Structure 1
């Protein structure tokens, strides 16, 4: 089952392309990009391959390929440019690429976090997006050359995630993560919406539990919901928020919070993990192995994805 947002975050990086095409500095970006591509292509095809220690030729067809390409420009010595007869970058081009890397660094970190397969839950979505917006806002002053890029990313983030930023269910999922709780945003209305969602569902969970418990009299049964709301629901939420521990094991001390957290945080914030699974499955189920039965295919896929635990 795919995450709630359905739209894959892997395409978020594409929102900066069109607005940046109208910027006066896009020519500088293109020159720097062409220069680095030429240099790495010559280095890869020359007899002295490997003299530029960059850890592999970058793939610009990947969403993070251009960013990695530009960050590696500092590892290129001037003598390598002279050897391959490629003109060095001008100071203006270097300044632009430096600011480009500064702007794209929080974007790449955001995508890496949300597309991870481990230690990532649905509750990470809003805190990460809010942090990205805050970082981009601070960069507007220091990165004037890439201001169109910053504006385009901000518009793209709002277009894709703007409708989710006030979703009480996603806010509650973030509050249930001990790493964040209520500290990930300064907007009081956002936190209040999430807390209201939590209190409402905890009250219903408490009432459902009380319906299965016997009572001594009709009077006690009639007013039991008032006792449960006060003693169990609100106190458990207050106790969870008051704890300073950021370990996930803290949820074991609050059964109602844990139950609701499992419901909201089981899903992943992006479908990249599912796509990686489908990609591995495609490598196994080739045309030459079309008669493989489902059990054999499932076992081979399981072994392939868990090979690091077997070795």
Structure 2
């Protein structure tokens, strides 16, 4: 085996995130290779690290070249802590202009030192945008609902600069009034003015709050307000008290878990605070056991585990709870996808969720207060998004939705007005229509010609009149397609970045806790972005 092939094999071993060699494994591997190829030499750790660093640099060059041809890019970002270190992960997403398929790439997983303040996050994001030269291409950045992320985009985002201007103007007016009252000279500390945040130190794009995090808050914080109803409160606490006793018993005792498995051929699912829909999935597993094995089987293992058995009212409560939370879980699963989801799915999914909850509410006996609490939470948390022109337009420009996802004419008008204004942008015109003029005079008076606007309006009307609902329909209308790609490039949830951290946990394992931060990031990016590796 040639020496180059051996080195390449070892590098692939490390890049794929496998466990590193300890001292015993290193000796065994070295002896094994020397038995196969007596004259070969095993590379040192320094050489391997250098090869990984070079491969990561080449990969970043390829990623930068690939994104140069893309006009609109979306970002998902989140923070992650492991082995007493904190990191910020950033992933980029875009729609391929030709195939309209989603493309994703991991950009960074950089170390964060100190408190995760809003300016620290803004600085890290700004550096990553500049490193990949995508600052002017980012349409939206999707994050969770953490207060540090929200403040970072409120202060340094596109909309935040307007707030900063108003704040500065108010401060100037107050200073002028103070000067009129007293004419004394006042000395000002210049250093405090330089340290003051004015919203222009960093430039961040528009912010999008993760829809799945919002749904999770609705299913937990808002749903808990249903206990204000006495009947629901009594059943809720008695039912979930028995559920928690059963879940805790099986999670803490292997004998108890084996008892349930022997009786039902299934294991119970225990809720996890960090996992979406975990309570729903745990309740669903209990109901599945009751349906498949019957109440008698559940009564037997509840008796064996010395856990109180559910009465008929409590089982009916669990059935209604599952029925109510099923559309919420389905909406979460739809929005947390990565390859087959666009921003335009957000509002239709929320709208359909409200309709499904209204239909489910009618036959309910115990969980009507839960439906009311969920509907109030949806209205409060998603209400402002329903009035966002870009989000409404993104839904209209999806062939699957168009204008059929809502019956509210005012909402459709908001989106259509935005689309018509945006389609007047010369960058959305076809190459034949937007061909450069032969003189400055023609360029100056080109706005008098209405052919471009008429062509875009015809394309929009033709698009809305088509009955096809596949994405390929957009290719027939270039101006509509370009605007649809721009608005639907962002993702409604930040789950894609959290998947990056799932892989990071495999690379940054307990046995690799002393791994250098840069080396860790290079290995992670090489593993995720394997299609950009040098062949």
Q: What does residue 236 of structure 1 align with?
A: 459
* TM-score, structure 2 as length reference: 0.52
> In the TM superposition, what are the counterparts of 1:77-88 in structure 2 within 5 Å?
77=294, 78-85=296-303, 86-88=307-309
Matched residue, 1:50: 261
Among candidates 220, 227, 230, match of residue 21 of structure 1? 227
Query: Which residue is 1:71 aligned to?
Result: 284
SS where residue 316 of structure 2 aligns? helix
The answer to whether the Cα contact below 8 Å between 2:334 and 2:341 also exists between their aligned partners in 1 is: yes
Render the CA deviation track for 1:121-173: whole Å, top value 9, x for unaligned. 11111000111111122233222421221121112112211111011110110
Compared with structure 1, are the counterparts of its residues 122 and 55 closer, same or farther at alpha carbon in structure 2 (3 Å cutoff)?
Answer: farther
Matched, 1:102 2:323: yes
The 5 Å alignment of 1:234-273 reads 234-273=457-496
Show CA shifts across 1:190-245 (max 9, x none): 11211111111111236877564326985995565312211x11011111112211
Q: CA deviation at 1:72?
A: 2.4
CA contact (8 A) 1:284 1:301 kept: no
Judge conservation of contact 1:39–1:81 (CA < 8 Å) in 2.
no
Instruction: Report if aligned partners of 1:70, 1:97 keep a CA contact under 8 Å in 2.
Output: yes
Tell me if the contact between 1:13 and 1:63 (Cα under 8 Å) persists in the aligned partners: no
1:184 match: 405
Relative to 1, partners in 2 of residues 1:222 and 1:304: Cα closer, same or farther, differing over 3 Å?
closer
Which residue number in structure 2 is paired with residue 163 of structure 1?
Answer: 384
Distance in structure 2 (CA, Å) of the matches to 1:120 and 1:290 = 38
Matched, 1:200 2:200: no
State the alpha-carbon separation in 2 of the partners of residues 201 and 136 from structure 1.
35
* Cα distance, 1:127–1:55 mapped onto 2, change above 3 Å: farther
How many residues were matched structurally?
306
Q: In structure 2, how many angstroms separate the alpha carbons of the residues matched to 1:280 and 1:258?
A: 34
Q: Residues 118 and 215 of structure 1: is their aligned pair in 2 closer, same or farther, counting only changes over 3 Å? A: same
The root-mean-square deviation of aligned C-alpha atoms, in Å, is: 3.0
Measured against aligned partners, the alpha-carbon deviations of 1:59-101 in whole angstroms (never above 9, x if no partner) come to 2433312212222233133234224414432221122211111
How far does residue 246 in structure 1 lie from its aligned partner after superposition? 1.3
What is aligned with 2:363? Answer: 142
Over residues 264-288 of structure 1, what are the superposed CA-to-partner deviations in whole Å (9 max), with x where a residue is unaligned? 1111101122223234324423573
**TM-score, length basis structure 1:** 0.85
CA distance in 2, matches of 1:90, 1:271: 40
Q: CA 1:298–1:155 in structure 2 vs 1: closer, same or farther (change >3 Å)?
A: farther
Q: Which runs of 5+ in 1 are unaligned?
A: none
Structure 2 distance, partners of 1:67, 1:197, is 39
Equivalent residue, structure 2, for 1:275: 498
Specify the structure having the higher radius of gyration (Cα): 2
245-254 vs 43-52, greater mean Cα deviation: 43-52
Structure 2 unaligned residues grouped into runs of 5+: 1-74, 76-140, 143-206
Q: Distance in 1 between matches of 2:239 and 2:272?
A: 13
